[in-house]
Structure 1
Amino acid sequence: MTALAAQLPDRPYLFNLCENRYLFCICLLAAAARGQICLLPPAGQMAVILEILQDYPGAYIAREHAPQQTGLDWFEVIAPNSEITASPPHFDWRCTAVIAFTSGSTGKPKPCPHSLNTFKTSAEMAVSSLGLAEQQVLMLSTTPPQHMYGLETSVFWPLFSQLVLHDGRPFFAEDIRQTIKSAQWPTLLASTPTHLRSLIKAEASWDNLTGIISATDTLSEKLAGETAAILGQSPREIYGSTETLSFASRETLRENLWRPYSGCCLTQDKKGQTCLESAHLPHAVPLQDSVQIEADGRFAVLGRDQDMVKIGGKRASLTELNRRLKDIDGVEDGFCFIQENGRLAAVVVSKLNSQAIKLSLQPYLDEVFLPRKIHFVTEIPRNQTGKLAKIELEKLLTGLIARN
C-alpha cells in the first residue's frame, strides 16, 4: 500500500472506480496516506463523473482498466507485490478521506465528506451492535463499494473486525449462490430488496449462508418471510444514509421499530426535526425522514415530507404504496407516482393486467389511492442499489406520457 501511495499522481482528488473490492480498498487507503480525497460518484456513468469533475478540477480516475471516455487522466490500479514488506502508512484519521454522493433519487447528488475516523468508529459500533465483532465470516455484497451501503458493509466492516473481505461482486442469483456455497468461510450476504426478489426465485439450496443484511429500500414483511423460507435466514435491515452512515437495525420478521446502535441517539426539536448524535459523527446530523421516537430510544420511520401524497383530503406515503404494489404476486417491480391531474398512477413490470393489480391492492388501500392508470414496461431503470434516480424517473415518465 505504501508503494501504491507513492505511485499515485500528485492530485488532490481521485475517482476511485475500482470494481475489485480489494483493489478499491487499498486504493482508498493509499490515497488517504497521500492526503488525497476519494470521490465516490452515485453512478459509474461518465456523464455523472464529468458533472462532478466540474466541482473538483484536477481529479483523476483510478481503476483496473482504462475508461471508455478518452481525454481523462487515468491511473491503473494493480495489486501490490505481497512479498515486499513496507512500513505501515500514516493516516490523518480526522481529515476528509472520502466524499460520497447521495444517490440522486430526490434531485442532484449531494456531496457528503467523511473521515477515516468516522468510518472506523461507525464500523466498530455496527459490528458490535449486530453481534458480528468476534465472527470470522465472509462479507459478500451485491452493492458496489462506491455506494455508502457497499462501502460500509463490504470494505470498512471487514477492515475493523474479523469479517473477511470478498473482492468480487457476483450479480446473478446462481453466481451468488455458488459463491456462497464454495466460500472458505460461512457467508454473510449484504444485499437489497430488489436483489432478494431475484434470489428467492432460485430453486436450489443456500448452503453456507449464515445471515442476510438488507438496505437501500424498505424490506416488506412478505419479502422478508419469503427470503427466510427459501434462503434459510431471517434478514436484518440496517438504516442510515450517505450523510450519517448506518446507525440502526431491526429484524424485519420480529420487530417493527428500529433499534439504534450502541452509541447512537436520536433527538427531536419542537418543530419535529430529528437529528442523529453519535460518536462516529463530528456533529449532530439532521435526518431527511420523519420519525417517531419511543421512550426507550427505538423509533419508527414515518417517511419523508416529500414522500407524502394527499388526495381527496386523505394522506398516504408513496413508500408504503410502492411496498404494497411490489408485494403483489406476479408484480416483478413497480412504483407509484402522481400525475399532473393530481391522481395516482403506477408503472409496473408484470404479466398481470390492470384489473388484477387493482383488485390485489383493494384490500389494503383506500379507494382514492388505487392507481387510476397503470403503465406496463419491460424494465424499470434502477441503479446498482435498486434505486431510481430522479433524472431516470423523469425520462421514463416523459416517454410513457408521450406514448399514451
Structure 2
Amino acid sequence: MTEWLPLSEVAVRARVGRRIAPGMDHAQFRARVADWREAFARQAGRDVALYFEDAVGFAAALFGAWHAGKRVMLCGDNLASTLERAASRVDGFAGDVAQEFAPLQPEQGGDPDELVALDEAATQLFVFTSGSTGEPVAIEKRLDQLAREVEALEASFGEEMQGAVVHGTVSHQHIYGLLFRVLWPLAAGREIAPRTFFHEDLLMAVGRRPAVLVASPAHLKRLPSQLDWAALHGQLRTVFSSGGALGADAALDARRHLGVAPTEIYGSSETGGIAWRRWNREQPAWHALPGVSWRIVDARLEVRSPHLADAHEWWRSEDRVATEGEGFRLLGRADRIVKIEERRVSLDALERHIAEHPCVQEARIGMLPGARDTLVAVIVPNESGWAALREHGRRALSQTLSHFLAASHDAVARPRRWRFAVSLPVNAQGKVTDRELMALFRPERPEPHWRLREAESAELELDLSPDLAVFDGHFPQAAVLPGVAQLDWAIRFGREAFPLPPRFLRMEALKFQRVARPHDRIRLQLQWLPAKQCLQFTYTSAHGPHASGRVVLGE
C-alpha cells in the first residue's frame, strides 16, 4: 500500500521508485514541477491558463504554477474562440495552444528540494461549467476544497483500487477528470494512463494489469457488443461515471460488458462530489460521500460540505429528491418549468411520460425560442422504435408519440418538432445541455455514419439535410454546401477518428470539383499520414467527386 500524500505535498515529498505514468517516475515528476515553477515565477502577473492534451504533462505544469503562486484557469479546449475569451482574463498561457498565444515553456534545472508545501486556502484554480444553457461559467476552487474531496473519494473507494492503473475517457481539463484522473491518483500514488478515446483502445491499454476506468455516461452508453469485453473481467476494479445521469439500461449493460457494476458520482463544479451510487441492482439510492451532510427542504436537496466554497453554509440545489432508506432518490429538476403561450409545462414530466412509450428508450425536451416559442423533442428509440422508423418513417413515429401524449397534454403543451438520435447529444463534459439539443434542430453538420475506423484510415457517410445551418444564405436561389464547411468537417471528423496534433499549419492540393446540395448523401474518406503530420480527405457521392485536399498539422 502506497503512503497517501496530501495534495499540498505531492510535489514536495519524494516517493522513491513510484511510477507516475508510463515513462515517468515520481522523482522525474517532481523535477518537472520544479522546472515549471521556475518558468512561472519569472512570468509577470498572477493568472495563467493551461491546456494540455497529456494529463501528466498538465499535472506538472499545474503544480509548477501553484508553487509559483499563480492562480490557474483551465481551458475546456484549445479552440481559438476559447483561448481568445481566456486571454482577456489571464496574463499568459501554457500547454498545447497556438503560438499566437505565446505559450510558456518550462525552464531547465529547477530544484525540487526547494519546493515547500502549498497553502491550501491560498492555492486556487478556475474551472468552467456549462450549466443548463451551455454558456461557460467560471467556478473558483481552492486547494482545500479539492483536497477534502479526494480524501473523501479515497475513504469511500480507495481500498478496492489498490495497485490499479487509472484509465480514463474524460478530459482532465474539466473538474471530474481533474479530480479522478490527476489529483486523486497523485495523492494516492496510482499510475495515470494516457487518455483513451475509443473502446478498442481501452481494451488494448488495460492489458493484464488491474485497472480503474474513469468514464462518462456517453461512453458507457455506447459500449459496442461485438468487442471482447470479457478480456477486462477481473482486470477492472472500479468503473466511475459522472457528468450526467446513467440510465438503468446503460448501467446494467455496462455491468454485463465490463464485469463490474458502474459507480456514479453525483455533484457539480460548484458543489464538488455530493453522493454516489453503485449499480449492483436496478435504481440504487444515492449515498452521501464522507463529510457531506444533506437534507430536504421544500422537496429540494440542500447540502453542506467541505467541497463547497463555504463549508459551513447550506447550499440549495434545484434537484427535487425523496428519502430512500439512508440515502435519497433524484426526482428531476425543480427549475425545468417553462411557459408556452402562458401555459406552464414541466419538461421533466413530459420526458417521463414520453419515456413510457414502448418505442422510446430515452427522451429530452427543450424549448426552441422564436417569434413563437416551440417545444421540441429529441428521442432515442429502442429496438422497437428503430424498427418502426425503418418501416413507417419519422413522420409516422412523431405522430404516434404526439397522439400518445394527447390524453394528458393538449396541443400547446406537446412537442411540435421531433428528432430521432442514436444517443442524446452531450458536450465535452458529458452533459446534455440546451445548446446541444437545439443544435439538432439547426445543426451545423450532419450526424456521421461511420463505415470504417482504423488507426490511419476512416470512412463515413453524411446526409445533407436542408435544415443544416451551413446552407443558410449560400445561396438563396440554389443552396450548395460551402467549401469552408467541407474543410471544417474534414478536420472535425478527423479529430474524432485520429489523435491529430492540435495546431493547423496549412492546406495543400485543395480541389473543389462538384457542388454538393441538400438531400445529397456524400462519403468522406480520411487518411492520416503520421510521418507527414498530414490529414488527407476526399468527398464523393453518387454524382462523382466533390472535393479533396490535405491538411498539415503540427504541435
TM-score, normalized by the shorter chain, greater than 0.5: yes
SS of the aligned residue for 2:72 comes to: strand
Name 1:188's counterpart in structure 2: 212
CA contact (8 A) 2:48 2:90 kept: no
Cα distance, 1:171 vs structure 2:
0.3
Name 1:300's counterpart in structure 2: 329
SS of the aligned residue for 1:289 comes to: strand
- C-alpha change, 1:256 and 1:289, in structure 2 (3 Å) is farther
- C-alpha change, 1:85 and 1:248, in structure 2 (3 Å) is same
CA contact (8 A) 1:322 1:336 kept: no
Cα distance, 1:91 vs structure 2:
1.1
| Pairing 1:16-31 to 2, within 5 Å after superposition | 16-31=50-65
Cα distance, 1:274 vs structure 2:
3.9
| Pairing 1:391-402 to 2, within 5 Å after superposition | 391-398=435-442
1:211 and 2:238 correspond = yes
Distance 1:4 1:327 in 2: 57
Aligned mate of 2:252, from 209, 216, 225: 225
Name 1:39's counterpart in structure 2: 73
Which blocks of at least 5 consecutive residues in structure 1 are unaligned? none
Distance 1:215 1:23 in 2: 24
Distance 1:47 1:334 in 2: 31
Distance 2:203 2:428 in 1: 19
Distance 2:144 2:129 in 1: 20
Q: Encode CA deviations 1:297-347: one digit per residue, 9 max, x unaligned.
A: 522223323324588877451795599499968x8x974323566664323
Distance 1:3 1:47 in 2: 29
Distance 2:85 2:353 in 1: 31
Name 2:34's counterpart in structure 1: 2
1:172 and 2:198 correspond = yes
Distance 2:271 2:243 in 1: 13
1:113 and 2:157 correspond = no
- C-alpha change, 1:359 and 1:140, in structure 2 (3 Å) is farther
1:256 and 2:284 correspond = yes
Q: Encode CA deviations 1:148-176: one digit per residue, 9 max, x unaligned.
A: 1101111111122243322x111011011
Structure 1 window deviating more from structure 2 (200-209 vs 378-387): it is 378-387
Aligned mate of 2:429, from 366, 376, 385: 385
| Pairing 1:270-309 to 2, within 5 Å after superposition | 274-281=301-308, 282-283=310-311, 284=313, 286-292=315-321, 294=323, 298-308=327-337
Aligned mate of 1:241, from 224, 245, 268: 268
- For 1:195, the aligned partner's letter is H
Length-normalised TM-score, structure 2: 0.61
CA contact (8 A) 1:200 1:227 kept: no
Length-normalised TM-score, structure 1: 0.81
Distance 2:57 2:354 in 1: 36
Aligned mate of 1:374, from 397, 418, 430: 418
- C-alpha change, 1:399 and 1:295, in structure 2 (3 Å) is closer
Cα distance, 1:278 vs structure 2:
1.9
Cα distance, 1:288 vs structure 2:
3.4
- C-alpha change, 1:318 and 1:385, in structure 2 (3 Å) is farther
Distance 1:234 1:362 in 2: 38
Structure 1 window deviating more from structure 2 (240-249 vs 294-303): it is 294-303
Cα distance, 1:77 vs structure 2:
5.4
Distance 2:398 2:255 in 1: 25
Aligned mate of 2:165, from 124, 133, 138: 138
Identity of aligned residues (%): 23
Q: Encode CA deviations 1:57-112: one digit per residue, 9 max, x unaligned.
A: 42x2211x4x23x532311359x889x76344431111142111112542532221
| Pairing 1:151-166 to 2, within 5 Å after superposition | 151-166=178-193
Name 2:481's counterpart in structure 1: none
1:91 and 2:100 correspond = no
- C-alpha change, 1:256 and 1:361, in structure 2 (3 Å) is farther
Aligned mate of 1:403, from 459, 467, 472: 467
Name 2:13's counterpart in structure 1: none
Cα distance, 1:42 vs structure 2:
3.7
Cα distance, 1:25 vs structure 2:
0.9
Cα distance, 1:376 vs structure 2:
5.0
CA contact (8 A) 2:291 2:305 kept: yes
CA contact (8 A) 2:265 2:273 kept: yes
- For 2:166, the aligned partner's letter is M
Root mean square deviation, CA, Å? 3.9
Structure 1 window deviating more from structure 2 (151-160 vs 96-105): it is 96-105
Cα distance, 1:4 vs structure 2:
1.9
SS of the aligned residue for 1:165 comes to: coil
Cα distance, 1:231 vs structure 2:
1.8
Cα distance, 1:245 vs structure 2:
1.2
CA contact (8 A) 1:362 1:370 kept: no
Cα distance, 1:228 vs structure 2:
1.1
CA contact (8 A) 2:357 2:404 kept: no
- C-alpha change, 1:138 and 1:308, in structure 2 (3 Å) is farther
Q: Encode CA deviations 1:209-262: one digit per residue, 9 max, x unaligned.
A: 222111111111111111111221111111110011112100134353210012
Distance 1:6 1:30 in 2: 8
Higher RCO (Cα < 8 Å, 6 or more apart): 1
Which blocks of at least 5 consecutive residues in structure 2 are unaligned? 1-32, 445-464, 469-555
Higher Cα Rg, which structure: 2
Cα distance, 1:372 vs structure 2:
4.5
